[in-house]
Amino acid sequence: MRRAAALLLALALSPVPAIAADDAPEPPRATFALSLDEVEINTGFHGAELLIFGAPAGGTPGDYDVVITVTGPPGRATLRQKEQVAGIWVFTGEAQFAWMPSFYTVASSGPLDEIVDPVENLRHGIAPSTYIPAPTGLGTEEETQLYIDAMHRITADSHRITLEEGIVELTEGVLFEARIPLPVSLVPGTYDVRVFLLKDGLVLSRSDVDLPVRKSSVQRLIYRAAQDYGLLYGIAASLIALLAGWLAAVIFNRR
């Protein structure tokens, strides 16, 4: 009897083998490709369409939601308030936005507030509202919110920041594709394309691919000259304009 009790006690005190962490299934990740290796901006550029297609890799099979974001290079932005004073429109205030994406679009397989948990949205910065920072140089919260709302309207009207819900097409919960329009106002730089896989509102994984946007060789040379040698570029442009005007006057006078 004592021997049996000792055996039971030994079994009770023996460590239970733990399940190795390596045995747990890894979350699926999106394997995807872009229809464009790069976007070249030239004189005939009128925008483009970016096709993004792929499928989850790894993990357990199942139905997933997909959110795709495309983010352009950031920069500073200044927003000025204009009011009519004594019949004349004058600037009465301004706000500085220290970090603003030149372009940001969100494409999703369904309504964003239904497929993305609010906490996950803030954590990963998915919704367009998370990409407009609070401006600096203002006094009250009401004034700050006024400028934020105005920036929302301006970026939406100019298609710089957009939300395209439901344009990500899913095939049997496995394959996905989306066609995202790129506007004519693209800024040169590296654009970050992200694909989020979600289930029950939670982000399972994120995959990233860079998309270069470049000006054509001649336009790139002119653009760099204007950026790096602004004064000389302005003088050269003025001289060329004067020369063109003089040549036009000479030609028409001869006629």
Domain layout of the chain by residue ranges: 25-215, 216-255
Q: How confident is the model at residue 229 (pLDDT cuts 50, 70, 90)?
A: low
**pLDDT at residue 20, rounded to an integer:** 46
Distance between CA 170 and CA 66 in Å, rounded? 8
Q: What is the mean pLDDT of residues 58-69?
A: 81
Average pLDDT, the chain: 79
Distance between CA 28 and CA 203 in Å, rounded? 10
Q: How confident is the model at residue 165 (pLDDT cuts 50, 70, 90)?
A: very high
Instruction: Give the rounded percent of residues in the chain with a pLDDT score beyond 70.
Output: 77
pLDDT at 7 over 70: no
Q: How confident is the model at residue 146 (pLDDT cuts 50, 70, 90)?
A: confident
CATH assignment of 25-215, among 3.40.640.10, 1.10.10.10, 3.40.50.1450, 2.60.40.3880: 2.60.40.3880
Q: Which two tokens stand for residue 248?
A: 């036009």
pLDDT at 19 over 50: no
pLDDT at 18 over 70: no
For residue 69, the tally of other CB atoms under 10 A from its CB is 23
Q: What is the mean pLDDT of residues 99-111?
A: 91
Q: How confident is the model at residue 153 (pLDDT cuts 50, 70, 90)?
A: confident
Q: How confident is the model at residue 198 (pLDDT cuts 50, 70, 90)?
A: very high
Show Cβ contacts of residue 62 under 8 Å, excluding neighbours closer than 6 positions: 173, 199
Residue-wise burial string across 73-102, b where 16 or more C-beta atoms lie within 10 A, e elsewhere: ebeebebeeeeeeeeeeeeeeebebeebbb
Distance between CA 80 and CA 73 in Å, rounded? 22
Q: How confident is the model at residue 54 (pLDDT cuts 50, 70, 90)?
A: very high
Q: How confident is the model at residue 178 (pLDDT cuts 50, 70, 90)?
A: very high
**pLDDT at residue 190, rounded to an integer:** 94
pLDDT at 224 over 50: yes
pLDDT at 118 over 70: yes
Residue 170 amino acid letter: L
